[in-house]
Amino acid sequence: MIDLKLLQKDFDTVSKKLVRKGVDATLLEELKLKNEHLKSAKQAYETLQAAQNAMSKEFPIYKKEGRDIAELKAKLDENKLKIADALEIQRERQEELESLAMAIPNMPDDDVPDGEDEKDNVELKKVLEPRKFDFTPKEHWELAEQNGWIDFERGVKLATSRFSVQFGMGARLERALINFMLDFNRSRGFDEVSVPAIVNRTALEGTGQLPKFEDDLYKMQDQELFLIPTAEVPVTNLFQDEILREDELPKKMTAYTSCFRKEAGAAGRDTRGMIRQHQFHKVELVAISHPNESEKIFDEMVQTASDILTALKLPHRLVNLCTGDLGFGAAHTTDIEVWLPGQNTYREISSISNTREFQARRAKIRFKDGKKNTFVHTLNGSSLAVGRTLVAIMENFQNEDGSINIPEVLKPYLGI
């Protein structure tokens, strides 16, 4: 959640930052109005409380002078009722402002490039040269069918569209990739953690998926429980409503989970193959950081995800997201896009974000900074989306006859 104290102190600066991220001016005006209502409610309460304090101080004077205190007591009792009403109004105004603020995205960092969508993202660098084929490379769904690795039709039979079944080497490679990624991340200092694939509403509000993205989530019938869209949700919320010691920071974690998304906002996109599935596997990086260290850890996370692709010998590039393509909770994001020769383009395989205090404020994750409690910074990123990595291996390591070579670093995990 955005800093409401900062909003009250400097509304114009906050609103300018939010406009860069595409927040509607009408919504900002409503936010400003509710902020002013809360200010007025606080002032009314403080005025009544000051009057109460002043009248209370007159009691000893009245007694000393031998005056009747009945009238003064009546005024105090009447004012006490007004204070109770004013306090309730202040609470209601606070709730109204916080409720609206929950739908407001994080402010982008000042150095995030302006732009409307992914076409305005800025390439930072390319890693590894794409292979030059002496034949026309096939797309992964054609290779999957030819090799018997992935069955899309049986996925539909078992569930619905955008589900698939991995067979044989396809299933083994998927498992090998998960183990390889977890081992790699552990070698870079990220502790492995295993978390539930079902979370409650509070957890999803903490990381920003709710209330805005409820239509994209799978919800349990008659329960306030949801299938996770990413391991970022349960891993970050491990420390929900906790005050950590400063010497506990940073907490760097990695987790493998299945993830579930309705892809409600992606109708008609990537309908073939494994690029955009309703259920997919992902290895995630999450960090709970001291504010002074979050940029350093962000760079570590980007490098870790990139180095996995390098170890797999998969060409990729790093992209700085513009304001229009930045996620709801992100202050800034670097995407990693892997080269897919069958599609002749780079496609996102990882998205690493620093949310600054945004998630920590919502989830109430703090640390003891001297005598005061301070919000941590939270960071998250894919390392990597397993299905998309499998797609990249298939397309980049294919041979003219449709067979697929196995990356050297995965062979020990396959017993080859």
Residues 100-157 have pLDDT tens digits of 999 999 999 999 999 999 999 999 999 999 999 999 999 999 999 999 999 999 999 9
Q: How many helices (H) and strands (E) does the chain have?
A: 14, 15
DSSP state at residue 116: S
Q: Which of 15, 294, 388, 395 is an active site residue?
A: 388
Residue 210's pLDDT is 94
Tell me, which fold does domain 118-414 have in CATH?
BirA Bifunctional Protein; domain 2 (3.30.930)
- Helices 168-187 and 140-147 cross at an angle (nearest 10°) of 120
Does 267 have pLDDT greater than 70? no
| Burial class of residue 25, CB neighbours in 10 A (0-12, 13-18, 19+) | exposed
For the question of residue 261 being annotated catalytic, the response is yes
User: Is 230 assigned a ligand-binding role in the annotation?
Assistant: yes
Residue 346's pLDDT is 97
Omega of the bond leading into 211 within 30 degrees of 0 (cis): yes
Does 325 have pLDDT greater than 90? yes
User: Is 9 assigned a ligand-binding role in the annotation?
Assistant: no
Cα→Cα distances 305→93, 326, 391, Å: 44, 19, 17
Q: Which of 351, 356, 357, 383 is an active site residue?
A: 351
Does 69 have pLDDT greater than 90? no
- Rounded to whole angstroms, the Cα distance separating 96 from 93 reads 5
Q: Which of 261, 361, 362, 366 is an active site residue?
A: 261
User: Is 103 assigned a ligand-binding role in the annotation?
Assistant: no
Report which of residues 416 and 300 the model is more confident about.
Answer: 300
- Mean predicted confidence (pLDDT) in 186-214: 96
Domain regions of the chain by residue span: 4-101, 118-414
- Mean predicted confidence (pLDDT) in 289-318: 98
How does strand 372-375 pair with strand 191-192? unpaired
Least confident of 3-17, 195-209, 402-416: 3-17
Does 264 have pLDDT greater than 80? no
Quick check: 166 and 150 in contact, CB under 8 A? yes
Selecting from 3.20.20.140, 3.40.50.300, 1.25.50.10, 1.10.287.40, what CATH number does the domain 4-101 have?
1.10.287.40
Residues 90-113 have pLDDT tens digits of 999 999 998 999 999 999 999 999
Q: Which of 131, 201, 276, 317 is an active site residue?
A: 276
User: Is 287 assigned a ligand-binding role in the annotation?
Assistant: no
Query: Model's pTM, two decimal places?
Result: 0.91
For the question of residue 348 being annotated catalytic, the response is yes
Length of the chain: 416
User: Is 349 assigned a ligand-binding role in the annotation?
Assistant: yes
Residue 263's pLDDT is 83
Convert 324-348 to b/e letters by CB count within 10 Å (16 or more is b): bbbbbbbbbbbbbbbbbbbbeebbe
| Burial class of residue 111, CB neighbours in 10 A (0-12, 13-18, 19+) | exposed
Does 320 have pLDDT greater than 70? yes
Mean pLDDT of the chain: 94
Residue 59's pLDDT is 82
- Mean predicted confidence (pLDDT) in 22-44: 92
- Mean predicted confidence (pLDDT) in 234-243: 98
Residue 336's pLDDT is 98
